[in-house]
Amino acid sequence: MDRQPLPVIGRRDASRPLAAPGPKLRPVAPAGTVECAGCGRRFVAARFEKHLRVCPDCGRHAQVPALIRAGQLADAGTLDVIRMDLTDRDPLGFDDGVPYPSRVAEARARTNLDETFVVARAGIGEVPAVLACMDFGFLGGSLGSAAGEQFARACDVAVDERRALVAVCTSGGARMQEGIASLAQMARCSAGVVAVARAGRPYISVLADPCYGGVTASFAVQADVIFAEPKARIGFAGGRVIEQASHDRLPEGFQTSEFLLAHGMVDAVVERGGLRDAIGRLLVAFSRKR
C-alpha cells in the first residue's frame, strides 16, 4: 500500500521571523527624559530645560508653564508674582459628566496655579514691567471670568505703577463652561489694554503655540508690538472649521506665525532664546522716547 504524503498545514515563510509569544510590550521611556513632539527624539529633561524647551534638533518650541515662562523673560532676581483673590463663577451650572467647579479644582491641583494667568512684576532690560503669562495646561489656557480679572488687574498695575505690560498668550479661546460671561472677558481685557495705551505705557504681546479664539480676537493682537514664536499656530477658528465654512482649501502653512508675518499680522517671529533681549531692547527704546 502506497503511503500518501501528509498535507503541509500553515507552512511558514522562512523569510519572516516568528512572532514573540505573549502581548506586545511598548518600550518604556527612560526616567528623567522628555520626548520632542516634533521629531520624536528623547532628551534628558535637564538638558531640555536648559534649551528653554526648544528641541536642539528640529527647533520645535514646546509649551512652557506660565511661571517658568515668566522666569525666562524677567531679569535675574526681579520676578515678583502678584497674588490675587479670585472669585469663581459657574453661571450655567455646567456639567458634562464632571461638574465645572471640579474641573477647575483639578486644574489647580495639577498646575499649582489659581487660574490661567501668572501675573508678576519684573524688570526686563532693566525697565519696570508687568508680566501676564498664560498657561495652556490650565484648562487649555481658556479665558474665563477669573482669568479676565487677572489680566484686567495686570493692566491696572501697569497704569498705577507706570510699568510696561508684556503678555504671553497661549490659549484655546473662551471658556465655554461660562457661556456669555466668558465672551464678555474679551471686552473687559480690551478695555484694560485701552487704559494702558491712554496712560502712555508700552504693551508687547508674545503669541505662543497655540493661540486661538477670543484671546486672538482681543488683547493678544492689540499690542504696540506683536511677537510670535516660530511655527506657532495662531488664529480665531481652526483651519478645519474655516475650510468647511468656505468650501475651499487653505494655503500651505495657513495660521502659522511665519504665514501671519508675511501677511502683516505679527511684527516679528522670534525664537524663544532671543525673546528677553528683543523685548528688553524695545522697552528701552520706548523709555528713551518718553
Residue 28 confidence (pLDDT) above 90: no
In the prediction, which pLDDT does 97 show? Answer: 92
In the prediction, which pLDDT does 256 show? Answer: 94
- The mean pLDDT of 42-65, rounded to a whole number, is 91
Grid coordinates representing 199 are: 496712560
Sign of CA dihedral 32, 33, 37, 38: positive
In the prediction, which pLDDT does 11 show? Answer: 57
* Percentage with pLDDT > 70 across the chain: 89
Helix orientation angle between 180-198 and 145-160, rounded to the nearest 10 degrees: 10
Q: Where are the domains of the chain?
A: 30-60, 63-289
In the prediction, which pLDDT does 270 show? Answer: 98
Residue 151 region, left (φ>0) first, then alpha (ψ -120 to 50), else beta?
alpha
- The mean pLDDT of 54-69, rounded to a whole number, is 94
Residue 7 confidence (pLDDT) above 70: no
In the prediction, which pLDDT does 237 show? Answer: 82
Per-residue pLDDT band at 76 (split at 50, 70, 90): very high
Distance in angstroms (rounded) separating the CA atoms of residues 121 and 164: 10
In the prediction, which pLDDT does 290 show? Answer: 60
CATH class label, 63-289 = alpha beta
Grid coordinates representing 217 are: 480676537
Q: What is the pLDDT of residues 176-194, one digit of tens each?
A: 999 999 999 999 999 999 9
| Residue whose cell numbers read 500651505 | 252
* Percentage with pLDDT > 90 across the chain: 72
Per-residue pLDDT band at 251 (split at 50, 70, 90): confident
Per-residue pLDDT band at 243 (split at 50, 70, 90): confident
Let me know if 10 is exposed, middle or buried by CB neighbors in 10 A (0-12, 13-18, 19+): exposed
Q: What is the pLDDT of residues 139-156, one digit of tens each?
A: 999 999 999 999 999 999
In the prediction, which pLDDT does 32 show? Answer: 83
Residue 10 confidence (pLDDT) above 60: no
Distances (CA, A) of 278 to 144, 155, 227, 228, 231: 30, 21, 9, 12, 18
Strand 203-211 relative to strand 164-171, pairing: parallel
- The mean pLDDT of 232-246, rounded to a whole number, is 85
Which of 2-11, 106-115, 258-267 has the least mean pLDDT?
2-11
Per-residue pLDDT band at 123 (split at 50, 70, 90): very high
Q: Give all strands (DSSP E) within the chain, no chain letters.
A: 33-35, 42-44, 80-81, 117-124, 127-134, 164-171, 203-211, 225-228, 268-269
